[in-house]
Amino acid sequence: MGSFISISEAAPTTVPKRRFRFGGILRFTILLAVAFCSMLGAWRYVRKLSPEVELYTFAAHKKIAYARELDKAGLPKIVIYGGSSCAFGVNTDQMRGEFHLQAVNFGLHAGMGPVVLTGLALKYTNPGDTLIVSLEPILLNMSFDWPALGDQISYALKAPDLCEGGPLRIQRRGAFGVFLTLRPGAENILRFLPSQLRHQYVEYPRSTFSPSGWQRYDVHAEPKARGVGTVISADSQMLLKRLKKYCLEHSIRVAYAMPWLYCDGSRLSTYKETFARFLYEMNKLIPVLRDPTLGTDTDPNDFADGPLHLRPPAATRRAEQLAKLIIEWRTWQPKELAKYFEPSRSDPE
Amino acid sequence: MNFTDFTFWQLLFAGCILWMIVRITIPGKIRGECSFDKFALLFLDLALIANVGLPTFLTFLTVSVGTYIWLFFIKRYPRLKWTAPVLFAYQLLPLFYFKYSNFLLNEVSHLQIPTIKDLLIPAGLSFYTFQKVAFAVDTLHYKLPLPKPLDYLNFAGFFGQIVAGPIERRANLLPQMENFRLRWDLGRINKGLSMIILGFFFKSCLADNLASLAVALRTNSENVYLIWVTNICFGFQIYFDFAGYSFIALGLGRVLGIELTLNFRSPYWSTSVQEFWRRWHITLSRWFRDYLYIPLGGGRTPLWFLNVLVVFIVSGIWHGAGWNFLIWGFIHGMALVLERIFKYPKIHAFLGWLSTSLIVFFAWMFFYETNSGMLVKKVARVFTPKAYTFGHWNAAYEAMAATQAGLVFVMIGLCALVLLLERFNWSEDGPNYSPFYRIEFQAMMLVVTVFLAPVKSNGFIYFNF
């Protein structure tokens, strides 16, 4: 085979002498300082120039302030939380005005992830309050992705504990590395910075948030129907079980309310069957409010800029319906949901 | 063992702290006598491999320990030398089972065995299997002594090279492991850290951003310009991904006082495919040269071109079990054969570089496109002269502008800058990365990486191999 072990390729086997170099220490210190300052600069950039972080931190502060104001009155309140479908879709102003419910809408950005959203809402829910979970099904279909936006907003709110679900304390792998997510990334900078520099809104204006947290946004674009998975991931099941346990221990009433999703009217029965399956699974974990639509909405005019973002009239209708369900505390029974589909024999009744 | 996973660094740091604490408590003389540092390094290696997953750990032990025991018996009882081919089969068996059984039995033979579908390949299997085969061949062919078990295990399992190479040889790594003692040399640590910074810049800043682009653009099979942009994005991505990993591995080794082999030397400035393979994944190329090409007869037989083709087809299959990888290897093999027959890259360096780049970036299409229907469409499009119109160019630009044009231009521009820096420090054999170790560049790379690296990192591409 020839001599293929080349002597020149072999590394020297002699051990180098120990040397002390001041230049080495200086270099190391400079690079460490550069890394540290870059991280600080990146975090400052995210805090000031990332429109998503800026807007949703503002929104979260507004919702927290409103929740505290309600607490001062001493009456039990209703905390409704989820992603943007919740922010747009529940007119909590109406719930207070017409039904005298002390409701606060903690809907923020679904991209923050279910753990941070749940942690934030739970942190401002007291014993005797009602917590309505209105997380988007797609967030619950998947395993936790621990999105950076959730970490960034948690830190912007000076509440890093939210990264682990606040009071739920959900352990996450590599938790110490969370601070590494407090950076913008090229995609964020190149997507947002040009518009930011031109002072153009790249997200929604701050004025869209009402004091109670509802996001009023009256535009219209034709929505495109989307599917929903029927499975609740193991991670989400764990989250919801912990949430239920926590609520039981702290005398908090909890239920799930399905967001309204635009559905193609010609396939309504298929959608209802799918949504019923999802809610059937959900019902095994926490009670589900008895919304007869099951979350289906076939009117495209009800939607603003997406198939989950309701326009104000639809958000008001949904709020009225939710208010009645909460007052009467009407929840689905498994058998009722099962009527929409044939449950497999292994499913418990 | 994902170097971009924070858990890896936590474990490594915790392991090193423990190492230091125990080291301080043991008197120096005893420490030397009981080879404390070697045991500590082995403990760290095994802990890090076990952290990847149990199948990875067990497969690693099966291949590595099995190889040693087998060689031990052959050395002890020379009449067992005839079992050497069985040893090679034993070494290659896990690789065939995990990586090729589905392709050979289900896709080629149509046996449709469900149990071998979707098998997860233990991390680093292709790399350490090749390392162990080389070790066994060297030990038996050159009648070299078997090292002590501790030194062998450190050689076989050094965490920096176990998952994605470099595929280290006995001649380079084993003597270092035999003489291993932990020493703190600030100059060496600084050099190691510089390599780690360079590696992270390549991987996290360049490769990870290019990955999102390559994925976004990959669905197009109509516009020929977009196909080429995808090929370029993927070509840059795979280079910076793998070179980045290799630099981190080299840097970690350097910090501990272990010199691993440089796996890349500015391959995209090669003026021939042959030169490309002297600069791309160097340790694998050398492995194929020394353990396959030369034993087949090398370039000195009349059928040398068949040897070249065999080597490159096997290289293609090593990268993945699929027809596309096989064709990728064949394209490179054919290019090399044609180069040697017609000697066209020697006409002019620029023409050589251009033809090499065209071949290499065209061939990447077979690497990333695993959907055969799409692949056929893309190849047909690339070879359709009518597809190269100004109208298609405009459409490609609009398609990019509609998605992430800024990111495409910034990332390709940044990659081009890095390649230019490599070019300015060009040398035939020496490393081409020395400007990157200068403190001003290191500082710049740190800042750019912190700001531009995506907040969620992708896995290393070569982990799949």
Give B179-199 pLDDT, tens digit per residue: 888 887 888 888 899 999 999
CA–chain centroid gap for A171, Å, is: 17
Are the Cβ atoms of A190 and B447 closer than 8 angstroms?
Answer: no
DSSP B92: H
Rounded-to-integer distance, Cα A90 and Cα A81, Å:
10
State which amino acid sits at residue A314. A
Of B7, B197, B453, the CB nearest to A185: B453
Which strands sit side by side in the sheet containing A78-82, from one edge to the other? A103-105, A78-82, A130-134, A253-256
Rounded-to-integer distance, Cα A287 and Cα B27, Å:
65
Half-sphere exposure (Cβ direction) of A142: Cα atoms closer than 13 Å? 14
- Note which residues in 302-331 of chain B have CB less than 8 A from chain A: none
Q: Which residue has better confidence, B392 or B16? A: B16
Beta strands in B241-384 (DSSP E): none
Rg (CA), chain B: 23
Q: What is the pLDDT of residue A347?
A: 45
pLDDT tens, residue by residue, A271-298: 899 999 999 999 999 999 999 999 999 9
Is the pLDDT confidence value at B114 over 80?
no
B175 contacts in chain A (CB < 8 Å): 10-11, 13
Q: Which residue has better confidence, B110 or B131? A: B131
User: If you count them, how many residues does chain A have?
Assistant: 349
Q: Which residues contact B270 (CB under 8 A, 6 or more apart)?
A: B276, B278, B279, B280, B353, B356
CA B427-B429-B435 angle, 5° bins: 45
Q: Which of B451, B456, B457, B458 to mutate against chain A (most A CBs within 10 Å)?
A: B451
Active site residues of B: 319
Determine the average pLDDT of the residues in B370-390.
Answer: 86
Of B6, B138, B456, the CB nearest to A176: B6
Of B172, B183, B447, the CB nearest to A11: B172
pLDDT tens, residue by residue, A169-198: 888 766 677 788 888 888 888 877 777 777
Lowest pLDDT segment from A6-10, A90-94, B240-244, B336-340: A6-10
Q: What is the pLDDT of residue B70?
A: 92
H or E, element range at A33: helix A22-49
How many percent of chain B have pLDDT more than 90?
Answer: 32
Q: What is the pLDDT of residue A4?
A: 35
- Output B3-8 pairs: Cβ under 8 A, ≥24 positions apart: B3/B199, B3/B203, B3/B245, B3/B248, B3/B249, B3/B460, B4/B200, B4/B203, B4/B204, B4/B457, B4/B460, B5/A174, B5/B457, B6/A174, B6/A176, B6/A177, B6/A180, B7/A173, B7/A174, B7/A177, B7/B51, B8/B48, B8/B51
Average pLDDT over chain A, rounded to whole?
85
Determine the average pLDDT of the residues in B447-454.
Answer: 91
Judge residue A335's burial from the number of C-beta atoms within 10 Å of its C-beta, 0-12 exposed, 13-18 middle, 19 or more buried: exposed
Q: What is the pLDDT of residue B461?
A: 60
Q: What is the pLDDT of residue A344?
A: 54
Asked if the C-beta of B300 comes within 8 angstroms of chain A's C-beta atoms, the answer is no
Q: What is the pLDDT of residue A348?
A: 42
User: If you count them, how many residues does chain B have?
Assistant: 465
CA A278-A282-A284 angle, 5° bins: 125
Is the pLDDT confidence value at A168 over 60?
yes
Q: What is the pLDDT of residue B317?
A: 86
Q: What is the pLDDT of residue B458?
A: 62
Reported pTM: 0.83
| Helical H segments across A157-267, by residue range | 186-197, 234-249
pLDDT confidence of B368, banded at 50, 70, 90?
confident
Nearest CA of chain B to the CA of A18: how many Å? 6
Cβ-based neighbour number of residue A55 at 10 Å: 21
pLDDT confidence of B367, banded at 50, 70, 90?
confident
A2 contacts in chain B (CB < 8 Å): 294
Average pLDDT over chain B, rounded to whole?
86
Lowest pLDDT segment from A232-236, B84-88, B343-347, B373-377: B343-347
Q: What is the pLDDT of residue A1?
A: 37
Q: What is the pLDDT of residue A173?
A: 66
Asked if the C-beta of A177 comes within 8 angstroms of chain B's C-beta atoms, the answer is yes
Structure tokens at A176: 């110490």
Q: Which residue of B has its CA nearest to A177?
A: B6
Q: What is the pLDDT of residue A13?
A: 45
Are the Cβ atoms of A4 and B142 closer than 8 angstroms?
Answer: no
Rounded-to-integer distance, Cα A58 and Cα A213, Å:
11
Asked if the C-beta of A181 comes within 8 angstroms of chain B's C-beta atoms, the answer is yes
DSSP B429: S
Are the Cβ atoms of A42 and B451 closer than 8 angstroms?
Answer: yes
Rounded-to-integer distance, Cα A338 and Cα A279, Å:
10
Asked if the C-beta of A196 comes within 8 angstroms of chain B's C-beta atoms, the answer is no
Structure tokens at B465: 């191999």
Determine the average pLDDT of the residues in B34-56.
Answer: 88
pLDDT confidence of A122, banded at 50, 70, 90?
very high
pLDDT confidence of A317, banded at 50, 70, 90?
very high
Q: What is the pLDDT of residue B310?
A: 92
pLDDT confidence of A320, banded at 50, 70, 90?
very high
Contact A149, A109 (CB under 8 A): yes
State which amino acid sits at residue B162. I
Which residues pair with residue A130 across a beta bridge? A78, A253
Which residues pair with residue A254 across a beta bridge? A131
Asked if the C-beta of B223 comes within 8 angstroms of chain A's C-beta atoms, the answer is no
Q: What is the pLDDT of residue A177?
A: 74
Nearest CA of chain A to the CA of B172: how many Å? 4
Rounded-to-integer distance, Cα A150 and Cα A135, Å:
14
Rounded-to-integer distance, Cα A133 and Cα A253, Å:
11
Interface predicted TM-score of the whole assembly (ipTM), two decimals: 0.77
Of B138, B179, B446, the CB nearest to A13: B179
- Give which of B387, A188, B450 is closest to B378, Cα–Cα: B387
Nearest CA of chain A to the CA of B383: how many Å? 33
Asked if the C-beta of B170 comes within 8 angstroms of chain A's C-beta atoms, the answer is yes
CB-based burial, B240-265: b 16+ in 10 Å, e otherwise = bbbbbbbbbbbbbbbbbbbbbbbbbb
For tokens 């890349």, name the residue: B264
Cβ-based neighbour number of residue A198 at 10 Å: 8
Rounded-to-integer distance, Cα B357 and Cα B231, Å:
11
How many percent of chain A have pLDDT more than 90?
Answer: 45
Nearest CA of chain B to the CA of A52: how many Å? 15
Q: What is the pLDDT of residue A343?
A: 53
Asked if the C-beta of B447 comes within 8 angstroms of chain A's C-beta atoms, the answer is yes
Q: What is the pLDDT of residue B112?
A: 75
Q: What is the pLDDT of residue A5?
A: 35
Determine the average pLDDT of the residues in B305-326.
Answer: 88
Asked if the C-beta of B34 comes within 8 angstroms of chain A's C-beta atoms, the answer is no
pLDDT confidence of A8, banded at 50, 70, 90?
very low
Of B172, B176, B455, the CB nearest to A9: B172
Q: What is the pLDDT of residue A7?
A: 35
Q: Which residue of B has its CA nearest to A4?
A: B290
